Structure formats: C-alpha cells, structure tokens
C-alpha cells in the first residue's frame, strides 16, 4: 500500500511539471498536433521518471510489510494457496532468491516470524 501511495503521489506531483513540459515540447519542436506532442513529452518524462519509479519499486528503500501471492506454493511445507513473503524482503527482486525471501503459507510464515523473534521478520 505504501508503494501504491508513493506511486500516486509521484504522478500527482509531476502533473504540473508534466503539463509545462508538454507545452515546452510543442513550442520547442513547433508541433501543432496535440497528440504527437503528448506522446513525445510523455516518452521524455517517462525516461526521466524511470529512476524515481525504480527507487520506489525495486531498491528496497521502501519496505514492504508483507508481499502476498494469491496462489503460490509454500517453500517449507509445499501447501498450495495464499502465500506470504516475509516482511522487509525486497519486492521485485532480480537476483537469485534465497530461502528466506521465498513465499510461505500463513502457518509457516507465522512460524518463521516466531523463530526470528521480531515483528518485522528481521533478525
């Protein structure tokens, strides 16, 4: 939910600069076609905002309380159903996953949480 709020906030904050950028693209490139100017300005803004989105969604700078997979396989017991990833692990990982960052069923996730001794799952 935190990442979603940051994402919407990012869109809201960039609405005014985006409109100004759109007008500058039209003026600078001399484009009369509004749709073409919009496509160009959005592509350029997207290229710039990519790094902000990357920070929000993949850097691990914003912790995810629990990542939920509606249908998954528990790494501990093999149960198929709703699974949870332990808190504090990175979302959208690109590297190899370790056992600690794998999804677990509710029973095994709670057991793992008790084993770590903390509410956020970190040791």
Band (pLDDT 50/70/90 cuts) for residue 53 is confident
Q: What is the model's pLDDT at position 61?
A: 63
Q: What is the model's pLDDT at position 33?
A: 92
pTM over 0.95: no
Query: Cα–Cα distance between 7 and 96 in angstroms, integer?
Result: 26
Beta bridge partner(s), residue 73: 80
Contact assessment for residue 82 and residue 72, using Cβ atoms and an 8 Å cutoff: yes
Helix/strand/coil for 68: strand
Contact assessment for residue 66 and residue 94, using Cβ atoms and an 8 Å cutoff: no
Average pLDDT over every residue of 4-11: 81
């Amino acid at each position: 939910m935190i990442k979603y709020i940051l994402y919407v906030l990012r869109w809201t904050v960039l609405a005014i600069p985006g409109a100004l950028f759109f007008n500058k693209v039209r003026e600078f490139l001399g484009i009369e076609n509004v749709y073409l100017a919009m496509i160009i300005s959005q592509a350029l803004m997207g290229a710039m905002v990519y790094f902000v989105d990357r920070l929000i969604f993949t850097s691990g700078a914003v912790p995810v309380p629990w990542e939920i997979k509606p249908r998954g396989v528990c790494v501990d017991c093999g149960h198929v159903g709703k699974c949870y990833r332990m808190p504090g692990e990175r979302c959208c990982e690109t590297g190899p996953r370790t056992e600690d960052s794998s999804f677990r069923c509710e029973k095994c996730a709670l057991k793992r949480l008790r084993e770590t001794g903390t509410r956020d799952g970190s040791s």
